[in-house]
Every structure is written in structure tokens, then in C-alpha cells.
Amino acid sequence: MTPPSKPEKGKIEQVPEQKSPSADGAGEAPPAWAHGLKQLYDSVVDEPLPDSFKDLIEAFDDEGEPDEDAGNGKTP
């Protein structure tokens, strides 16, 4: 395999135009890696929330409700 040639100094190298997938998804097939990436994403989304995260969320919830004046911009 020969390395690509460098363009002459002062000349702009022309790069072939790449087509982007259409907005409706029709036309071109997705890249070969897309199916595997989608499967990985779906498996992560389907994983249950770890108990340590549940405990952390409960701890934040148990800290109490905000004061009546909290967030209204008024100083006591």
C-alpha cells in the first residue's frame, strides 16, 4: 500500500464529498458498528439501579423539604 501523496504547496487538496444520512433514516444503511453500539446502550439502560445509588437518593430525599422561603429570592 502506498502512502497518499501530499498536495503541491499552495494548492488545496480536494476531498471527496461524503453523503450524510437522510433525516428520515432512509437511503443508506447504518455503519457496521452501529448495531453493536445500540445493543451495548440498550443493555446499560436495562440494568437495574445499584442499591448504593438507591440509598444515596433516599438519603437526599430524607434530608427534608426546603424551607418555605427557600428559592424565593428574599432574605430573612
Has residue 47 been placed in a domain? yes
Q: What is the pLDDT of residue 49?
A: 87
pLDDT tens digits, residue range 16-54? 555 555 555 567 889 999 999 999 999 999 999 899 999
Q: What is the pLDDT of residue 23?
A: 54
Domain that holds residue 46: 31-62
Has residue 20 been placed in a domain? no
Can you list the positions of beta strands (E) in 12-66? none
Has residue 55 been placed in a domain? yes
8 A C-beta contact, residue 28 and residue 19: yes
Distance CA 28, CA 58 (A): 47
The mean pLDDT of 49-69, rounded to a whole number, is 81
Q: What is the pLDDT of residue 28?
A: 86
pTM more than 0.85:
no
